[in-house]
Chains A and B, each alone.
Chain A
Amino acid sequence: DAGVTQSPTHLIKTRGQQVTLRCSPKSGHDTVSWYQQALGQGPQFIFQYYEEEERQRGNFPDRFSGHQFPNYSSELNVNALLLGDSALYLCASSLFGPLETSGNETQYFGPGTRLLVL
């Protein structure tokens, strides 16, 4: 049973560039959440995708966007990269279903993509 996978593992970009990160959820999961983790900090929620739509969003600018595909995999896109975007980007998958039943499901994290913006 494959766990959550992410690609690439590491990435170096320069300011102003755009980046796309990819995530494949754990088998049987339908929901993908993205988090940004700066060094020495806890993960910060970016957004969550369910049924190919952004279901909720954290306090991140519009430069951060995403997509979920019919096979439940997901992409995170960041435009106009800033130095402060350097971080570990974590994808977490879960089986949420409708919002009214949400909150109890465990989120399982992938290994992350470490992004360095120069």
Chain B
Amino acid sequence: GQNIDQPTEMTATEGAIVQINCTYQTSGFNGLFWYQQHAGEAPTFLSYNVLDGLEEKGRFSSFLSRSKGYSYLLLKELQMKDSASYLCAPSSNTGKLIFGQGTTLQVKP
């Protein structure tokens, strides 16, 4: 079966750091994507992890532990424009993305 679990909502303050966790159980796991989706818009690619460890890309970093079925997205120096939904999406070895319900992040001044 396939199961993805991430918090529904999070709130953080502008300038702060926030970590969005994701646990997953998927068959034929290949790697894990994180997408950002602003309200009413399409998801946009943030990161992809296939190996264990931390991948850093500017203010955003993503971590993967394959053995634990666990990933997190770390957002530093939060800006108001970071208010969005963040989608955790394990990818199968057939290229199918399985999305979680997403975490809605609200950044407050």
- Which residues of A line the B interface, CB within 8 A? 31, 33, 35, 40-45, 48, 55-56, 58, 90, 92, 94, 96, 99, 102-112
In the complex with contacts A31-B95, A94-B95, A106-B102 CB distance below 8 A: no
Among B30, B87, B96, max chain A CB count under 10 A is at: B96
Is A103 touching B99 in the complex (CB atoms < 8 A)?
A: no
Q: CB distance A45 to B50 under 8 Å?
A: no
Interface string of B87-109 (1 = CB under 8 A from A): 10101111111111110000000
A-B contact count (CB 8 A): 71
Q: Pick the contact of B96 from A41, A58, A109, A111 — CB < 8 Å?
A: A58
Measured CA separation A40–B37 after assembly (Å): 11
* B residues whose Cβ falls under 8 Å from a Cβ of A: 4, 30-31, 33, 35, 41-45, 48, 50, 87, 89, 91-102
CB contact under 8 A between A103 and B42, given known A40-B101, A43-B99? no
Q: Report how far A96 CA is from B92 CA in the complex, Å.
A: 13
Given known contacts A45-B98, A90-B42, A104 and B92 CB-to-CB distance under 8 angstroms: no
Residues of chain B within 8 A of A110, CB atoms compared: 42
For residue A102, give the distance in angstroms from its CB to the closest CB of chain B.
4
Q: Is the pair B101, A56 in contact by a Cβ cutoff of 8 Å?
A: no
Smallest CB-CB A-B distances: 3 pairs: A103-B30, A42-B99, A102-B95
Task: Assess the A103–B43 pair: CB atoms within 8 A.
Answer: no
Chain A residues with Cβ below 8 Å from B30 are 102-104
Alpha-carbon distance between A85 and B42 when the two chains are bound, in angstroms: 18
